[in-house]
Every structure is written in structure tokens, then in C-alpha cells.
Amino acid sequence: MEQVLVVDRNKLLNGRKLPYGFRQTGLKGLIERIYQHGYFINRPAAESDPNRKQIIPYMLVKHRNKYFLLQRQSTQTEKRLHNKHSLGVGGHINPVDGITTIKGILEKGLERELHEELNITCPYTYTPVGYLND
């Protein structure tokens, strides 16, 4: 069964309510709490437990002054995304053999998404710019 990265909601924002939408404030502390308190559980349990927040990195891809826009195919697994447009790519984070830190696993997950979704083979850098709660 697929395992996904989660953090208990009360630990993610030190007991405060997670704001809805996109935010940039408090990003560094949020990332540190993910590193500190993240763990893996079976995906169905994560999706049915409101006390846990699934951590799903989402990336906008920019080259010079242009952003990548993706139209989802109707053959992908998540039906709610069929034929929809996305300005970025992302996905659940799963355990990675041989990597023991949440930070390392998150970085590997970002790399996996770029290669799976976009087949990026050139050197790249990434910069966290905010978080999205929806």
C-alpha cells in the first residue's frame, strides 16, 4: 500500500489554524516543522483523517521569463484533474530507499516529480516561495 508524508495539524503550525490559500509568511518555520514532525502513513488513512496534513510539494517551472503550463490527460489516475490545466507539477511524497531524513526524501520527491511529469534533464535550481493550503 502506498505510504505518504504527513504532519499532525497541531504540530504543523504550533496549534494555530492553517490559513486557506497561498501564503509566504512563516515559510521557513513551516518547512522546519515538516522536517521535524513529518512521518509516513498509508494513503487511505491520510486522506480520511482531518488531524493530519498531507505534504505535497508543488512546483512552478520557469525558464527565463516564461512559465510552464500543463494540461492534464484524461488517462491519469486522479479523475478530478482530468483535462484541467495546471501551472505547476507536484505529488505525494513517498518513502525513499536509502534516504533517512525528511529533507532528503522531500528533495528526492521534487526531483522525481520533475522527471516523471516533465522529463527535465538539464541542471536546475529550486527556491521555496510559499505554501498552499486548499
DSSP code, position 27: H
For the stretch 41-62, pLDDT in tens is 999 999 999 999 999 988 888 8
The pLDDT score that the predictor gives to residue 3 is 95
Q: How far is CA 11 from CA 35, 42, 70, 82, 129, in A?
A: 11, 19, 34, 33, 21
The pLDDT score that the predictor gives to residue 34 is 93
DSSP code, position 18: P
Spatial distance between the Cα atoms of 76 and 83, rounded to a whole number of angstroms: 10
**pLDDT tier at 11 (50, 70, 90 boundaries)?**
very high
**pLDDT tier at 33 (50, 70, 90 boundaries)?**
very high
Spatial distance between the Cα atoms of 68 and 80, rounded to a whole number of angstroms: 21
Mean pLDDT of 28-45: 94
DSSP letters, 14-64, are: TTSPPPSEEE-TTHHHHHHHHHHH-EEEEHHHHHH-TTEEE---EEE-EET
| pTM for the whole structure | 0.84
